[in-house]
Amino acid sequence: MTIKEIETVRKMSKTPTLIMCLDEQIQSCRQEKRLGSANNYLRTRQDFIRFLGTMGRKDLSLRKCTPEILADYQEWILSRGKSRNTLSFHMRNLRAVYHIALNNGFTPPCSQQLNPFEHVCTSSIPTRKRAAKAEVMTMLNQLDISEHLKSMGKLTGRRSFERMVREVTFARDTFVFCFCACGLPFVDFVHLTKENIQHGMLCYERQKTGTHIEMEILPQMQRFIDHYATNSPYLFPILTTKKVEESYIQYRKAIRKYNHRLKLLSQMLPCDINLSTYVARHTWATTVYHNDMPESYIKERMGHSSLQTTRTYLKSFENHKIDEVNKRIIDAIIQ
């Protein structure tokens, strides 16, 4: 047993609490530079403390973590108008730290079932995947952003107007690049460096899964790489530091700004589509899927850990296609 494990067991022997376990996990994630995970556990910590406050408590011993308490927490979350996915998010985090405590030596009382999370909601509802039609990408790529901003009442002749044109143009170029790069996730786009370019190939590890991805750099992609080239080690002008904590803060700020600019771009398009960081990825997947690219190829380029994940991802696209065919057949039969 390592020194760290011994220290963890020692702490757990002092009647561990859920907040204590969450704090331990937050600290562990931060030490491992998994700042996104640390932030997720922090959100659950804050939410659960608010729930405990409704009962006049500040913490909850793991020995009192019962199905009844968890059911009350579930009901409290839903009573505030939160979604089932929000509920499952917090429950999964609590379940994770509870099981870590079990693995590190915590022994629940005999009267307490081993898994108090057995009957609580920890599964999420798949969100509807929204993909744009391929023609939208063409329209977006050819968009005259300056003219559209003028038509929207933005005042020209000011530095703020010029800055807005640059920022919205960069958001558009980012979206198109990510589409061309096999639905590249925004978090991976942000972290691309010049070292990721090797002999005309874009080679990188996905931030989320660590899966290694290699793809040919198409001329459409190279155009953006050349246009935004600077002396920075990064391919695109978003991150300015290699320090994990600082780069994570910059990334969070960038994704908020990116989504805001995408909403503005959505207003410029002559179709009903709400662009977001996920739409480029979904659009690439559904476009190549409906052009007969095998699921296994899509899995490889999207960096999914299993083919089942890819099939789940594409399921909503297939349902949409079925609905189109069904409508065409029924319209032909029943007038």
pLDDT tens per residue across span 4-62:
544 554 454 467 899 999 999 999 999 988 888 999 999 999 999 999 999 999 999 98
Residue 25, token pair as written in the block? 């996990």
**pLDDT exceeds cutoff 80 at 160:** yes
- Per-residue model confidence as pLDDT tens digits over 219-278: 999 999 999 999 999 999 999 998 988 999 999 999 999 999 999 999 999 888 889 888
The domains of the chain are located at 3-103, 134-333
Contact 258, 169 (CB under 8 A): no
Q: Is the pTM of this model over 0.85?
A: no
The 3-state DSSP class for residue 204 equals: strand
The beta strands (E) that lie in the chain are given as 197-198, 201-205, 212-216
| Fold entry, domain 134-333 | hpI Integrase; Chain A (1.10.443)
Average pLDDT estimate for 140-158: 85
Beta-carbon contacts of residue 244 (< 8 Å; ≥ 6 apart) = 33, 35
CA of residue 291 relative to chain centroid, distance: 26
CA-based angle 24:27:31, to the nearest 5?
135
pLDDT higher than threshold 70 for residue 112: no
- Averaged over 301-326, what is the pLDDT? 70
Handedness of CA 264, 257, 93, 280 (dihedral sign): positive
DSSP state of 118: T
